[in-house]
Amino acid sequence: MNLEDVRASFGRQASFYANPQSAALFGDPAGLARMVELCAGAPGIRALDVATGTGFTALGLARAGCRVTALDLTRPMLLEARAAARKENIGVEFVEGDSHRCPLRSGSLDLVTCRLAAHHFPDPAAFVRESARVLAPGGRFYLFDISSPEDDTIARWIDDTETLRDPSHVSCWRGATWERLCASAGLRVVHSERPKWRYVMDHWFGRSDMTAEKRARLIERIKAVPSGWREVLSMDFAQDPPGFGTPLVEIVAMRD
């Protein structure tokens, strides 16, 4: 899938992000507060939120006192984000663009964030390089996303499952990959965690172009997971269909 397809796919999904389950996932107040605590303590810092979607993270940063620019590939997502900002009377600058070729000046920012989006990026190295380029010395890079375990077979299962659900998925890049890319881009990792979670399954199924046939195939696939993988995938067979979650990655890296 190329960037045009990604844009078209999210263009169709934009209004779905207004529902309460999306707000709970992307706008999770505890998650946003944690990001602010890790990275955005001082008021007035210049922040860029990459792949902002409908703006949950960007608005969270702006509420915390940051001066925020929010970048996304997909105009309908940005329109939703702009409307949300206007509703709260929050000033955020919205920019249409690609995370791999950031249209902002080198050294112009104190913080670059990207939450729950980087698994759509085909070239994470270019994204990290661009993030490092736009940061001023002392600036921070914050990444939070779905990820993969070290086991290649489980990692492949996760990516195949995500791609079956949402063809705009590229890869649940591993924490170790992000750490390596940060180091190559001159960013020093100061925080690296692998939290666990579980999807809200209705929301997970609902977030992309879903047919009954595709949903049934996904459920069969999840039910067939080998018992040895259940712990890594946080599987819950008490739910119907069974719940599961990919590992997460949360990284903060500094430009010295």
Ligand X SMILES: C[S@@+](CC[C@H](N)C(=O)[O-])C[C@H]1O[C@@H](n2cnc3c(N)ncnc32)[C@H](O)[C@@H]1O
Contact set with ligand X (CB under 6 A): 3, 6, 10, 26, 51-53, 56-57, 72-74, 77, 98-100, 115-117, 120-121
- DSSP string computed for 70-135: EEES-HHHHHHHHHHHHHTT--EEEEE--TTS--S-TT-EEEEEEES-GGG-S-HHHHHHHHHHHE
Residue 124 or residue 225: which is nearer to ligand X going by CB? 124
Residue 47 or residue 73: which is nearer to ligand X going by CB? 73
Picking from 117, 120, 1, the residue whose alpha carbon sits closest to that of residue 48 is 117
| CB 141, min distance to ligand X, A | 15
CB atoms within 10 A of CB 227: 7
Residue 78 or residue 225: which is nearer to ligand X going by CB? 78
To which H or E segment does residue 26 belong? helix 20-26
Torsion of CA 244, 208, 32, 51, to 10 degrees: 130
Residue 143 or residue 232: which is nearer to ligand X going by CB? 143
| CB 178, min distance to ligand X, A | 16
| CB 53, min distance to ligand X, A | 3
Centroid of chain to Cα 213: 27
Residue 6 or residue 47: which is nearer to ligand X going by CB? 6
| CB 73, min distance to ligand X, A | 4
**Nearest to ligand X by Cβ — which residue?**
53
| CB 188, min distance to ligand X, A | 24
Q: CB of 128 within 8 A of CB of 181?
A: yes
